[in-house]
Amino acid sequence: MQTANVNRLTPYLFLAPAGIIMAVALLYPIGYMIYASFLDWNPSQRIGEAEFIGLRNYLNLLGDAAFRESFWVTLKFAAIVVTVEMLLGVGLALLLDRNIRGMSLLRTLFILPMMIAPVVVGLMWRYMYHPTVGIFNRTLKSLGLEPIPWLSDGNWAFASVIIADIWQWTPFIFILSLAALQSLPQSAMEASRIDGATGWQQIIHIKLPLMMPVLIVTLLLRLIDAFKVLEVILVLTNGGPGLSTEILSLRISRTASEFRELGEAAAMSNVLLILLMILTFAMFAYSKAVEIRTARLRAAAEETAI
Amino acid sequence: MSTQTYERQNPAFYALLVALIVMAIGPILMMLMTSLKLNVDIMSDTSSLIFMPTIRNYETALCDFLWYEAPHIDFCDKTFGRALVNSLIIALVSTALTLILGCMAAYALVRFRFMGRDTVSLTTLVMRMVPPAVLLVPVFGIWTFQFQIDGTRAGIILVYVAMNLPFVIWILQSFIVQVPIQLEEAARMDGAGPFGVFFLVVLPLIKPGLAAAAIFTFRVAWNEFLLANALADRNSRTVPVTIVNSMTEFDIDWGVIMATGMLLAIPPILFTFAASRQIITGMTAGAVKG
């Protein structure tokens, strides 16, 4: 009887360590953060000593021009980088989806920017944007042009941060769309070729619609990650000049460490989390919907076959 | 057509390929080059391609590991060397722990089916979405006041393991599903217990999955800055934290900082070349298979 007991307990034994760690170090902190967002709390206090102030942190955020600014900067940043990266990544994938030598090398080299520490990416770009010895201003100078204040002017700094992000993350979209392209059914491609479709027609009427499910998931994944960007911007500009590149994550970490307002930082974290939660559920709902649709189509196809 | 024959393409395509490769690795090469230059060369106005390579910057960064005396170092700053040791310990231990725990959990979820796959993939997605910045406040508070493990390597390892577990469980699940159950039944017939079946039969069969999971976990633990910065004290700082700290100094020593950046970048670069296939599998698994 004892072995039966052991067998019944096995799944729990296997699952328990991971479950306990995630509960203690992931779920508990998130719950704690939600609670802390209702407190007036600074880092020298234990949480029990902090005063409960209800929704005041959230109301403060609404009235805080700097927070609204950084919320707006975050949205702008995410929208621009994701749009540009999608266009470039999908475009390159469509262009390079051929059986050519060097493709696997290209893919390997393309992953490098994503694997390297974001801190190091920031470091490299900060050097390249250097006002005098950076490669961009050096090139401009040797062409006899005016140097550009890459990181010291608000608008240029925003553009610089976007360029660095595009360099780092376009490969992600490229690799996912290339994988999607290569898993498309060959029969559809051949059928359209026989019907005399040109390259463009093939792309617009066949490839893109068939890739759409993957593209939408890719877009949402990238969008979620775009809201999480922090280190590259921290190293490049530290949010400045002014608030021009201060995205939400950076604002949270500064509110916590420089302004020592843990409650308000927690409230900001909550806003960011809710935003991302909406995106995540959109993504999950979408992939479920696609799954159900394909299942129904397959069932219908099987019925007609019989 | 076999995969070994290639279509002949317009030369413009090769030009585009080369341009893309240059763009992708140009900044990395530039960092490598800068790290091999003396500060005089970095700041000089002349061409940046021709210079005498030197390993002085690396000697300065790694001065406490040198077995010889480098003549140009008058004062050895041990910060970076200590951070490198911390980073290695933290990244390796958290990768090993995540893999062991993640594997066991994934196996239980697949074989004993108590939660649907949907629950697990939804949890993974939700956890993937949580930005480290959101964990910053609560983790700092809890680690400092309740667990009192702030400033220790163990504290940092605990966060990293928890952060990585959902993804690891999810990716390993998709590999374990493919292990034929007959193999396990046969082993059980021969008298292996559940743990024996797991360690002797299942684990060896999912090595590719383990490799992908290991690389992703190591990468997060090795590269992470924000939480390490909040939790570490002087003795447990990791390399990204020291790099950011030295960036905020007024007079940036570009040569040395590029050398430290290069040292931080080397392990991920090596992994990429050794296992690009597994990395791409891990990356695409989420989106393409759904």
Q: Residue by residue, what is the 3-state secondary structure of B56-124?
A: HHHHHHCHHHCCCCCCCCCCCCCHHHHHHHHHHHHHHHHHHHHHHHHHHHHHHHHHCCCCCHHHHHHHH
Residue B49 to residues A147, A229, B33, B53: CA-CA distances in angstroms?
A: 20, 32, 8, 11
The better pLDDT of the pair B125, A254 is held by A254
**Within an 8 Å CB–CB cutoff, is residue A253 touching chain B?**
yes
- Write out residues 99-158 of B within 8 Å (CB-CB) of A: 101-102, 104-105, 107-109, 111-112, 114, 118, 121-122, 125-142, 145, 158
Q: Are A176 and B247 a contacting pair at CB < 8 A?
A: no
Give residue for tokens 């994988």.
A179
What is the model's pLDDT at position A88? 92
Q: Residue A40: phi, psi to the nearest 5? A: -100, 100
Whether the predicted pLDDT of A115 surpasses 80 = yes
Each domain of chain B, given as residue ranges in start order, spans 11-54, 79-289
Cβ contact, residue pair A265, B141, below 8 Å: no
Radius of gyration of chain A (CA): 25
Task: Judge whether A15 lies within some domain.
Answer: no
How far from each other are the two terminal CA atoms of chain B, in whole angstroms? 30
- Beta-carbon separation of A29 and B138 below 8 A: yes
Tell me the CATH number at A258. 1.10.3720.10
**pLDDT score for B3:** 46
Which of A5, A116, A214, A248 has the most B C-beta neighbours within 10 Å, making it the best mutation to test the interface with B?
Answer: A116
Instruction: Name the more confident of A120 and B183.
Output: A120
Q: How far apart are CA A54 and CA A40, in angstroms?
A: 9
Residues in chain B: 290
Mutate to test the interface with A, among B2, B111, B134 (most CBs of A within 10 A): B134
Nearest to A133 among B42, B142, B194 (CB): B42
137-156 of A, contacting B, C-beta below 8 A? 138
Contacts of B134 in chain A (CB under 8 A): 30, 33, 252, 269, 272-273
Distance CA A19, CA A22 (A): 5
- The tens digit of pLDDT for each residue in A211-236 reads 888 888 888 888 888 888 888 888 88
Place A86 in a pLDDT band, splitting at 50, 70 and 90. Answer: very high
Identify the band that residue A181 occupies on the pLDDT scale cut at 50, 70 and 90: confident
CATH number 3.40.50.300 is the correct assignment for the domain at B79-289: no
The count of other CB atoms within 10 Å of the CB of residue A301 is 9
Tokens of B93: 């231990």
Query: Is A269 a member of any domain?
Result: yes
Measured between CB atoms, does A52 come within 8 Å of chain B?
no
Q: Are B258 and B31 in contact (CB under 8 A)?
A: yes
DSSP bridge partners of A39: A52
Give yes or no for a contact between A140 and A147, defined as CB atoms under 8 angstroms apart: yes
Q: Do B272 and A276 touch (CB under 8 A)?
A: no
Q: Is the peptide bond before A147 cis (omega within 30 degrees of 0)?
A: no
Of B89, B61, B76, the residue nearest B228 (C-alpha): B89
Q: Report the percent of chain A where pLDDT is more than 90.
A: 5
Identify the domain containing residue A256 by its residue range: 68-305
pLDDT of residue B67: 72
Nearest CA to CA, how far is A25 from chain B (Å)? Answer: 6
Higher pLDDT, A102 or B99: B99
Chain B, nearest residue to A8 by Cα: B112
Give ∠ CA B191-B192-B194 in degrees, rounded to 5: 135
ipTM (interface pTM):
0.84
Of A110-119, A283-292, B41-50, the range with the lowest mean pLDDT is B41-50
A12-32 tens-digit pLDDT? 778 888 888 888 888 888 888
Q: Do B138 and A11 touch (CB under 8 A)?
A: no
Predicted local distance difference test score (pLDDT) of residue B1: 39
Instruction: State whether residue B21 sits within 8 Å of chain A by CB.
Output: yes
pLDDT at A284: 76
Residue B280 and residue A179: Cβ atoms within 8 Å? Answer: yes
Q: pLDDT value at position A166?
A: 92
How many structural domains is chain A composed of?
Answer: 1
3-state SS track over chain A: CHHHHHHHHHHHHHHHHHHHHHHHHHHHHHHHHHHHCCEECCCCCCHHHCEECCCHHHHHHHHCHHHHHHHHHHHHHHHHHHHHHHHHHHHHHHHHCCCCCCHHHHHHHHHHHHHCCHHHHHHHHHHHCCCCCCHHHHHHHHCCCCCCCCCCCHHHHHHHHHHHHHHHHHHHHHHHHHHHHHCCCHHHHHHHHHCCCCHHHHHHHHHHHHHHHHHHHHHHHHHHHHHHCCHHHHHHCCCCCCCCCCCHHHHHHHHHHCCCCHHHHHHHHHHHHHHHHHHHHHHHHHHHHHHHHHHHHHHHHHHHHC
Q: Do B286 and A221 touch (CB under 8 A)?
A: yes
SS3 B142: helix
Residue A148 falls inside a structural domain = yes
A142: in domain: yes
Size of interface A-B (CB pairs under 8 A): 291
Q: Cβ contacts (< 8 Å) between B107 and chain A: which residues?
A: 14
> CA of A221 to nearest chain B CA: how many angstroms apart?
8
Residues of chain B with pLDDT under 70: 1-9, 45-49, 70, 74, 113-118, 120-121, 125, 249-250, 285-290
Task: Give the closest of A14, A230, A231 to B104, CB-based.
Answer: A14
Alpha-carbon span A67 to A60, nearest angstrom = 9
Q: Is residue A266 part of a domain?
A: yes
Question: Crossing angle of helices A154-182/A118-128, nearest 10°?
Answer: 130
Cα separation values, A264 from A133, A181, A253, A289, Å: 40, 45, 11, 38
In a domain, A23, yes or no: no
Average pLDDT of chain A to the nearest whole number: 82
Stretch 260-279 of chain A: residues touching chain B, C-beta under 8 Å: 262, 265-266, 269, 272-273, 276-277, 279
> Which residue of chain B is at minimal alpha-carbon distance from A107?
B276
The more confidently predicted of residues A306 and B141 is: B141
Portion 32-91 of B in contact with A at CB < 8 A: 34, 42-43, 48
Phi, psi of A39, rounded to the nearest 5 degrees = -115, 155
Quickly count: other Cβ atoms within 10 Å of residue A87's Cβ: 12
pLDDT of A2 strictly over 60: no
**Residues A64-89: what's their mean pLDDT?**
89
Q: Is residue A27 part of a domain?
A: no
**Does A244 map to a domain?**
yes
Q: Does A84 score more than 90 pLDDT?
A: yes
Asked if B19 is an interface residue toward chain A (Cβ–Cβ < 8 A), one would say: no
> Residue A6: pLDDT band by 50, 70, 90 thresholds?
low
Q: Which residues contact B241 (CB under 8 A, 6 or more apart)?
A: B83, B225, B228, B229, B232
Please state the φ and ψ torsions of residue A117, each to the nearest 5 degrees: -55, 135
Q: What is the pLDDT of residue A81?
A: 92
The helix (run of H) or strand (run of E) holding residue B214 is helix B207-223
